[in-house]
Each structure stands twice: as structure tokens, then as C-alpha cells.
Structure 1
Amino acid sequence: MTPDQPEQVFTYAAPALKFGRGASREIGYDVRGWGARRALLVTDPGVAAAGHAAGVAESLATYGIEVVTYDAAHVEPTDASLIEAVDFARGAGTFDAVVAVGGGSSIDTAKAVALLTTNPGELMDYVNAPVGKARAPERPVLPLAAVPTTTGTGSESTTICVMDVLALKVKTGISHPALRPRLAVVDPALSATQPAGVLAASGMDILCHALESYTARWFGSYDAKAPEQRVPYCGANPISDLWSERALGLLATAFRPAVRAARGEDPGDGAQAAADDMALAATFAGLGFGNAGVHIPHACAYPVAGRVRDFRPADYPDAEPMVPHGMAVSLTAPAAFRFTFPAAPDRHLRAARLLDPAAAGDGADVLPAAIAALMRDIGSPNGLAAVGYDGRDVDDLVAGALQQQRLLATAPRDVTADDLAAVVGDSMELW
């Protein structure tokens, strides 16, 4: 390796995967195979009420594993909610494994528990710089099995734990390979019960995962790195491309019918197939972006979610104001991909036609138009103004996005504050 040599190595990692209807009922067999005798099950009140967590707990108990349940995971975790979960786990004795049942919020909460019940220090020691100290784990974290009940976050595949830091009104996270779950158990029978609003928001997270990783900076465009310098997000590469392309193809045929079915409308033939394909698309996109990375829409989404004032989305159980993560990511996506188009026109056009085979044209607006059409059809808010922002918020949202340098570094073009201001300003209304 020489200082001016381009990178020639990319990395790929993924959890063990079990996929299919009924897979969650087998998890006791899998966790017992790790030698676990006592497990902490992490879930949220809504998932617990739906009975999904109880089914997983029953499977664990069937294989002789003592289960302690924490059912207070916060939807869209905060630093305070993660600390509460860690304190509960620390006070509940010693565990051999953690099992998360729920959306990305429950899985990310479980990651924090797995880390901080085995390693010294406090939460902010491990949070990404510059918000936290970016401390690396010194000891092995508890093995984690993740059972997603929503289709979208990809947390069951990734090395990231995301949270809102309340005092700073910023969304950030912890990023380290040790946080990747050991096992992802994807059971479409669980995610098929999502309300329409949750499905629409989490499905847009799938879409943005696939699009951002597919259009991310190519791994070979970075300077060469020593092994210890490589990070989980290595840029677009031949393997992540396969996952992203397949996810986009599934979304093209499954997303609209799945949302119609969740609304109680006639989705046409194949409602169950659409639900299964959404779960598969989420899995594929997670396996792609968990290695390639994401960029501008996710960087912008953190302050959009973290600075929310009064918006309350449909079909989410918490009464407090929130912009769900997948919704927050999607709101700046059309403008973001219009900005990144010059860096890789062919990739943007191919992505547009995977998402909408009828997409015509060869300019920067083709992919944004395909995204906006999908958002309109599934009932997404029409831009940032629809969730409570206006032109007076642009500078504040840009400042929050600029704190996400780990993500912005993955963008295929260099991104300045003025560029982000243009993206945010153009995202106030999408159609």
C-alpha cells in the first residue's frame, strides 16, 4: 500500500440468516445452539401487545432457556431510552444472549444492551464522534438474535445502533462491527401484520437503503487502507450491487400492493406474496447497505427526525411527535438523487428503471420522479413542509446533516453546506 494507491479491497459481512414464515418459532433451537441458558428478550409495547414477543419467548423456553423480557423499548430510541434499557438489563442479572423482537427501534435497543452489559463505560463513550467519543468495545458483546417485525430498517443486518440525543436534538448512533447481530430471523408472518402507515414508512427505508448503497461512492475510488483502517461501510461494490438491484426489483412489484392490502383495499392477486416480497426486499437491502453504506438522504434524515415539533404520523402507537426514520429518509431522497446524478448517471437511470420499468428519459429527474410517484401512491407526506418544516428551518437542518460526516463521506459527490441547503430547500414540497 502506498499513500496515493487506490483501494483494491472491499469487505462483506452479514449475520447468519433464517428466512420464512414460521422461522421465528424456531429461534429457541438456534439460540440454544450458542450454549445460552438465560436470554434477555427486548421488545416494545406494541409488538408485545400483538403477541409476537410471546411467541419467541415460548420458543426459547421450549429449549430450556430462561427468558427475561424487557418490553419498554422506545419507538425511535433516544439516549435516555437506551440508558433505561441498559439499566434494566444490568439490574436483572447475567445473560448469555439477547433476543430482539420488533422494528429497528427494538433491535437497536438490544444492540446497546448487548454492548453495555459486557463493556465498561457509558453510552456516550461509544457514540460516533463528534457527538460522542467513538470508543471501541474492549470485550465481546453478548450474542444477539434479531427478529424484525417491520420491513425496512435493516438493523438485523447492520453494525449500527441509532438514537436521538435529546439534549442536542440530533440523531446519531454507535457504529462497530461487534454490533452486527449473530443471527437474523426474518419471518414474513410477523411483518405482514404492520399497519399501512408503518409499512409505508419502513418500506421507504428499504428503498433508500437500496438506492443509496447502489449510488454510493465506489469502493475503488477511496485511497488504499490498511486492514485496521477499513470500516463496515466500504462503498458500493459488486456484491452489494446484487442485493440492491434485487431489492429494487422486488419493491417495484410488491410495495404498492402490500400497502393497499394493509389499508384493507383490494391489492389484487398475491397479497401474501407481496408481504413476503417486502420482507425479502428489506433483507436484501439490509445485506447491501450494511456493507456499502448510505449517504445524503440518511444524513438529512437524522435532523429531520431529531428536530420534529408537532408531527404525529398515522398508525404509530406513541402519541408524542415523531417523524419515523423511513419517512424522514424519504423526504429528501428525490432532491438528493437529483444532486448525485452527475456522479453516476448510468447507475441512477438503471435504479429508476428497476423501480419503474416504464421510467422514460435520460436526465437527472428520472429517478426523483419515480421515487415521488411511489411516495404519492403509498400516502407519504408531500415533502418536509408536510411534517412541519419551512424555509426558516433550512440552516438548522443543514447543520444537523453536516454532523453526519460518516455518511456524507459515502456520497458519490463531495457535499458542501450549500449543497445540503439546496437539497433541503428543494424537499419542502415534492409534487
Structure 2
Amino acid sequence: ARELGERALVVGNRAHLEGVFAQMEGELAAHGVEIAGGEPIPGAGANTPVSDVARIRDAVLTHAPDFVIAVGGGSTIDAVKAAAAWSALGGELTDYFGTNQVTKALERSNKRILPLLAVQTAAGSGAHLTKYANVTFVEAGQKKLMVDEALVPRRAVFDYDVTMTVPLDVSLDGALDSMSHLVEVFFGIGEGGRERAGELVEVGLPLILRAAPRLLEGLSDSQTRTELGLAADLGAYAIMIGGTNGPHLNSFSLVDLASHGRACAILGPYYAAFFAPAIGPQLRLVARIFEEAGYLSSDAQGLTGRDLGLAVAHGMLSFLESLGYPTSLQELPGFDYRFVEQALAAAADPQLAMKLQNMPIPFTSADIDRYMRPLLDAAVIGDLAKVPF
């Protein structure tokens, strides 16, 4: 921290983290770093509401720190990323959603973003390492996304043992978010990055399949938390070399129904079945991992094409069932079909076009009603046979 300046705005929620804040405040004082405003300010709520981003931006402008420390999970870290960009550039926050819009604005204005030190406290989002910032417009029930190298934190800290106080449901949702990062990137990445993405899946996915069930057994020990933390970091690495696609895109419209990780995990199997003709080698690796973990029969290795995709999708759904999670959208409390319509409309938003471009099967906005609607219909009722092909 001392390398970044002498005055830090500290942003984070103290719930479950009093010990972390006490230690951090002591270390900052010992190294001559003043906390701007005298004490930390609250972090963001779940899914990074835009109102929290505005509040943190105002604090940055008021206190004029040398740098910002974000302490928390993905919601708080994403909020600070977005607030740092907004405070530097002014204008409307909506100007900076999409790919490289922050960098373009910085180059035009000759301005710079305050350095960010990200202290991660939950395994899942990988926000402490990545170029992404998700922000939710609560009244619309819709997330939007910034994708920009300018948002990558200057320094990152993640002590996996800190996550031992994270509630069970948040921990499991985080594990599913990590799984989605690994699998979606592996399915969608081009040949140039596929070998590396496969290595990340081969290490990270077994960690999740092994450790997440142990949380249900009450084993919130250092070993379990380390495995989930490593998987989260591997997932973060994955989304720095490639991009997520369909499940993440549609999850942005489900913020009023489910956590991000849960929504992605429900949608993932249906997209695996849809993508099957284009991702045979990736599916074979994922099938082997699910088979070794006991969620898939050995017969899957002899399958090809759509049959292989359906087998892997069933394995993914079996894992969700083992955690007590829903396997269809209609099981989510409060679901109705307007969420599907919202997801379809959001998929055509140019600011989210990168998700369509990351699909392993070429996809344009013109294909949304032809392919995405029946896919989401299948996910609503939990029927893989209804996935289009």
C-alpha cells in the first residue's frame, strides 16, 4: 500500500470482517498510510447497485486520496473500479460500459485513474485480478459491464483463510461463479488460447467439484477454503485470457431472481448442449473431470456431438442437484417469463456485444430470437431435449 501513496480511501463492509479491518488499519498506520476521512466507508451491496458506485465516486472526489483500497468480494471491488473511473473522467457512468471505453476516454482527456489495491475476501468473482466491473441498475433489474485493462487493480491481496467466515450460500454461489468462468472461457476461446484454458480447467474444476460438497458437510477448514480460493484465482486468470459468453450474458438480467454464480450455473448446462457441435474436444475434457468426480457415467467418453453435450449437461445438473441447487429457471422464487424477455432484449444491447462475440458458435443479434429464445425456454422448464440444434 505504501508504494501507492500516503492517503488511502478505504472502502468495504465490516460484517464478518472486523478482524481483517482491524489488522489492516493497524498495518496502514504502522507504515505511515493515512485513511482518508479518518475511517473506512461502506462498500457496495450485492450485485453492485449503481447508487453505491455513485456514493463511492462522491467520496473519492470529496477526500481526494492518493489511492483506494477496496476490501470485500466482487460487488465492492467492482464498485470501486467503476467509481474510480467515473471520478476521474466525469460525465455519465453509462458512457463507460462496453469494451475499452474507459481507456479511450482516458486517452482523449489525458487523465488517469487512481491506483486501486484490491483485498479480496470471498472466493468466486476474481474481481481482484481482472479487467471487469459489473454494475446493476436496480430499477431496471439489469447489470451492465465495463471491460477494460485500465480497471485492473494495481495490487491485489487474497488470504484464502479469510473466506472461512463467509456464509455457506455465498460460498457455494462463489464456487459456481468460478466454475462458470473456467468452463465458459474454455468453451469459447480460440485455438490460440485453448491449451492454456484447458490447463486451467483441468486444475480448477476438480478443486470445485471436490471442495464445494465439503462445505455442505460443514467442513469450512483451511484446506477446503484454499482449494476454492485457488479455483477462483484460476477462474480469474481464465477470464483475463478469454471471455465468458451465454450464461454470463443472460445472468445479467436475472439479478432480481438469483445470485450471479447461481444464475450462471443453471444456464451453463443448456449452453453446453447448444454449443456441443463446435466444442467436442473441450467437452471430452470436461466429461472426464465430471466422470472422475462421480457426476457422469463412463459411457460419456464414447459419445460425440450433441450426445456428448447432453451427457456433460446432465453431469453439470447432477452436480447442482448434489448441492441442493435448482436446475431450471422456473424453480427460482419469483420467476416469470418477463425475465426471459428482459434477457433477450439485453442480449441485443451493443454494450454487451462482447458476450455474443465470445460464443463458440458464431452468434449475432439477429440470431437471438432463433436460438437464444428456445434455449432459455428449455432452461425455464429444465428440459435439455428442448435446446435447439
Asked whether the two chains share a fold, i.e. TM above 0.5, the reply is yes
Task: Name the aligned partner's letter for residue 117 of structure 1.
Answer: S
Task: Name the counterpart of 1:206.
Answer: 178
Task: Name the counterpart of 2:91.
Answer: 121
Which of residues 118, 122, 135 in structure 2 aligns to 1:163? 135
Tell me if the contact between 2:98 and 2:146 (Cα under 8 Å) persists in the aligned partners: yes
Task: Name the counterpart of 2:167.
Answer: 195
Secondary structure at the residue paired with 2:252? helix
Equivalent-residue separation in structure 2 for 1:197 and 1:146 (angstroms):
23
Equivalent-residue separation in structure 2 for 1:82 and 1:219 (angstroms):
37
Higher mean C-alpha displacement, 204-213 vs 396-405: 396-405
- Summarize the Cα distance change of 1:195–1:337 in structure 2 as closer, same or farther, 3 Å threshold: same
Output the TM-score relative to the length of structure 1: 0.77
Task: Name the counterpart of 1:298.
Answer: 248
Task: Name the counterpart of 2:343.
Answer: 397
Which of residues 203, 213, 231 in structure 2 aligns to 1:256? 213
Shift of 1:338: 0.8
Equivalent-residue separation in structure 1 for 2:90 and 2:338 (angstroms):
42
Which of residues 375, 380, 388 in structure 2 aligns to 1:428? 380
Equivalent-residue separation in structure 1 for 2:112 and 2:67 (angstroms):
12
* CA-to-aligned-CA distance 1:229-258 (integer Å, 9 cap, x gap): xxxxxxx44333322331112112212113
Task: Name the aligned partner's letter for residue 356 of structure 2.
Answer: L
User: Hey, which bits of structure 1, 4+ residues long, moved more than 6 A?
Assistant: none
Output the TM-score relative to the length of structure 2: 0.85
Shift of 1:71: 1.2
Task: Name the counterpart of 2:57.
Answer: 86
Higher mean C-alpha displacement, 252-261 vs 412-421: 252-261
Secondary structure at the residue paired with 2:45? coil
Shift of 1:179: 0.2
Secondary structure at the residue paired with 2:88? coil
- Summarize the Cα distance change of 1:369–1:82 in structure 2 as closer, same or farther, 3 Å threshold: same
Shift of 1:393: 4.1
Equivalent-residue separation in structure 1 for 2:67 and 2:81 (angstroms):
11
Which of residues 1, 5, 9 in structure 2 aligns to 1:40? 9
| Structure 1 vs Structure 2 CA RMSD | 2.3
* CA-to-aligned-CA distance 1:202-261 (integer Å, 9 cap, x gap): 1110000000011114155xxxxxxxxxxxxxxx44333322331112112212113432
Q: How many residues of Structure 1 are paired with residues of Structure 2 in the alignment?
A: 359
Task: Name the counterpart of 2:35.
Answer: 67
Shift of 1:429: 4.1
Shift of 1:391: 4.2
Tell me if the contact between 2:85 and 2:102 (Cα under 8 Å) persists in the aligned partners: no
Percent identity of equivalent pairs: 24
Equivalent-residue separation in structure 2 for 1:356 and 1:111 (angstroms):
39
Which of residues 98, 104, 118 in structure 1 aligns to 2:68? 98
In the alignment, structure 2 segments of 5+ residues that lack a partner are 384-389
Task: Name the aligned partner's letter for residue 92 of structure 2.
Answer: E
Tell me if the contact between 2:182 and 2:197 (Cα under 8 Å) persists in the aligned partners: no
* CA-to-aligned-CA distance 1:363-407 (integer Å, 9 cap, x gap): 221221221111112222332112232445433322223332211
Equivalent-residue separation in structure 1 for 2:327 and 2:246 (angstroms):
19
Task: Name the aligned partner's letter for residue 109 of structure 1.
Answer: A
1:174 and 2:120 correspond: no
Shift of 1:81: 1.9
- Summarize the Cα distance change of 1:379–1:67 in structure 2 as closer, same or farther, 3 Å threshold: farther
Tell me if the contact between 1:98 and 1:142 (Cα under 8 Å) persists in the aligned partners: yes
Task: Name the counterpart of 2:21.
Answer: 53
Equivalent-residue separation in structure 1 for 2:309 and 2:196 (angstroms):
26
Tell me if the contact between 1:39 and 1:67 (Cα under 8 Å) persists in the aligned partners: yes
Task: Name the counterpart of 2:199.
Answer: 242
Tell me if the contact between 2:126 and 2:232 (Cα under 8 Å) persists in the aligned partners: yes
* CA-to-aligned-CA distance 1:21-73 (integer Å, 9 cap, x gap): xxxxxxxxxx1133x1011111135355x443333232222211011312142
- Summarize the Cα distance change of 1:136–1:299 in structure 2 as closer, same or farther, 3 Å threshold: same
1:368 and 2:339 correspond: no
Which of residues 362, 365, 379 in structure 2 aligns to 1:414? 362
In the alignment, structure 1 segments of 5+ residues that lack a partner are 1-30, 221-235, 262-266, 312-322
- Summarize the Cα distance change of 1:244–1:182 in structure 2 as closer, same or farther, 3 Å threshold: farther
1:282 and 2:258 correspond: no
Task: Name the counterpart of 1:338.
Answer: 273
Task: Name the aligned partner's letter for residue 322 of structure 2.
Answer: D
1:353 and 2:324 correspond: no
Tell me if the contact between 2:125 and 2:236 (Cα under 8 Å) persists in the aligned partners: yes
